[in-house]
Amino acid sequence: MRTTVGIIGAGPAGLLLARLLHNAGIDSVVLESRDRSYVEHRQRAGILEQGTVDVLRAAGAGERMDREGLRHDGVELRFAGHRHRVDFPGLTGGRSVTVYAQTEVCKDLIALQLKEGGPLLFGAEALAVEGAESERPRVRFRHEGREEVLECAYVAGCDAFRGVTRGVFPAALSQVFERAYPYAWLGVLADVAPSHDELVYARHDRGFALLSMRSPSVSRLYLQVPAGTDAGQWSDEAVWDELERRLETGDAWRLERGPITQKSVTPMRSYVHEPMRHGRVFLAGDAAHIVPPTGAKGLNLAVGDVVTLARALTHERDTGSSELLETYSATCLRRVWQAERFSYDMTTLMHRGPDDTPFDARLQLARLERIASGRAAGTDLAEAYTGFPLDVRGISGRFRSGRGPVME
Ligand code: FAD
Ligand code: DHB
């Protein structure tokens, strides 16, 4: 098999890259080790930055998101019995976020790819990437019991943290920056209307809690738990009791309970692999970097990477210049480190570490007070949460060459 861009992984990074390349008239093949239903139902991110919404729309993948996504103009911070609303448009000059689940983004992109795009093979596991520095890098993969080879001009490793693509980087080239956290998130999905109309991030002496949602009738809630916790240790009643304690307010607000339909634990880590390019092989999304989920940056970073990569590939096709491919890693890493910084700040602001002292707790409260009472700290949070602007020029299906005028 041959293609221009071999894409490993059909998560948001791989699927959106395939769509952007299709719009630019560049062919690709997507290899995904799992089956379609797994990819479409894996419960993960829920919050899309303004820039991500703009990109999906410009890529022609925003129709259902525009109908069903919920625009949110703020979040609530709860601490020490206070409720403070961070007003996004007011602090950022009009920006907001959209609640639209990663499962739905993936469903929309898969449907489009199967209808209009190049091959998307499920049950196709990449085994190794070879020849990164040659003109024709190759992906060896297994599909329907047979070993096959995909010959490419470029390979995009969108195969997340446990994927194979990072293995192509020589040890002498790779630098890894990471941090583990001594806690994790227990996430539940519940068939009950969200108890608040915006997300609630709660800092509590017992640990962090987050109230989010998937739709007007489905709530998504998270509890900080010790790293290594087994979700089965928590009964539904214990989850609701603990959420109630950590989300408590001094007023009449009440947490509505309902049937819990899913429960899982997510470990938390910060991780960056530098560089994100070796020869003709590029890393995008969780294959290159992980953020702890507080602040909802992971999926949005993946989108930033693939927009940058699609533009660089289009530029090289149109002008013969590999300049943007050569600066791909540095361009992405600037945005990545801003998200790492923000996710780390949000995580350490809201969670209680096992070794935290009363001094640490007081500092958290002082940082929260500053966000609540000073415009500078609130603006910093609102700008980072809604996301730094993404350049969406040239990614619409209507401007296939990637030249010419752009925003619509
Ligand atoms: P993935 O979605 O992990 O996709 C990688 C794909 O590659 C997978 O489908 C995998 O099966 C496939 N693959 C792996 N190895 C191979 C192989 N060898 N061959 C072929 N295929 C392979 N981010 C946000 O922006 N907002 C949020 O609100 C948010 N909340 C989160 C909540 C939770 C509980 C979790 C776990 C994550 C959250 N994230 C959030 C992070 C976000 O889900 C990830 O950053 C995002 O999925 C990254 O997309 P990706 O395409 O890089 O990787
Ligand atoms: C969700 C996840 C997050 O990490 C976050 O900060 C906010 C919301 C969610 O899954 O809804």
Ligand whose nearest atom lies closest to the CA of 122: 1
Q: If you take atom 11 of ligand 2, which residue's CA is the nearest one? A: 46
Q: Give the model confidence (pLDDT) of 396-407 as tens digits.
A: 654 343 333 232
Query: Which of 229, 228, 223 has its CA nearest to residue 206?
Result: 223
Contact between 104 and 11 under an 8 Å Cβ cutoff? The reply is: no
User: Strand 218-226 and strand 260-274: pairing?
Assistant: unpaired
Helix, strand or coil for residue 80?
A: coil
Please give the distance, rounded to the nearest whole angstrom, from the Cα atom of residue 11 to the centre of ligand 1: 6
Backbone angles phi, psi at 12, to 5 degrees: -55, -40
Q: If you take atom 40 of ligand 1, which residue's CA is the nearest one? A: 45
Ligand 1 pocket: which residues have CB below 6 Å? Answer: 8-14, 31-34, 39, 44-47, 102, 125-126, 158-160, 163-164, 187, 266, 285-286, 293, 296-300, 302
Concatenated DSSP letters for 141-183? EEETTEEEEEEEEEEEE---TT-SGGGGS-TTT-EEEEEEEEE
Please give the distance, rounded to the nearest whole angstrom, from the Cα atom of residue 8 to the centre of ligand 1: 12
d(CA 163, CA 381): 32
Ligand 1 atom at minimum distance from 165 CA: 18
Helix-helix angle 12-24:102-116, to 10 degrees: 40
- What is residue 400's predicted lDDT score, i.e. its pLDDT? 40
Ligand 2 atom at minimum distance from 43 CA: 10
Ligand whose nearest atom lies closest to the CA of 298: 1
Q: Which residues pair with 199 in a beta bridge?
A: 75
Contact between 260 and 239 under an 8 Å Cβ cutoff? The reply is: yes
- What is residue 325's predicted lDDT score, i.e. its pLDDT? 97
Contact between 15 and 159 under an 8 Å Cβ cutoff? The reply is: no
Domains, the chain, in order of start with CATH, read 5-71+101-178+269-353 (3.50.50.60)
**Average pLDDT, consecutive stretches of 10 residues, N- to C-terminus, the chain (408 residues):** 98 98 97 97 92 96 97 97 95 96 97 96 98 97 97 98 97 97 97 98 98 96 97 97 96 96 96 98 98 96 97 97 97 97 98 96 97 94 91 60 32
Angle subtended at Cα 78 by Cα 77 and Cα 84, rounded to the nearest 5 degrees: 55
Query: Which of 50, 71, 84, 17 has its CA nearest to residue 371?
Result: 84
Please give the distance, rounded to the nearest whole angstrom, from the Cα atom of residue 269 to the centre of ligand 1: 14
Total count of residues recorded for the chain: 408
Q: Which of 72, 220, 269, 290 to mutate to test the pocket of ligand 2 (most atoms within 8 A of CB)?
A: 220
d(CA 261, CA 191): 7
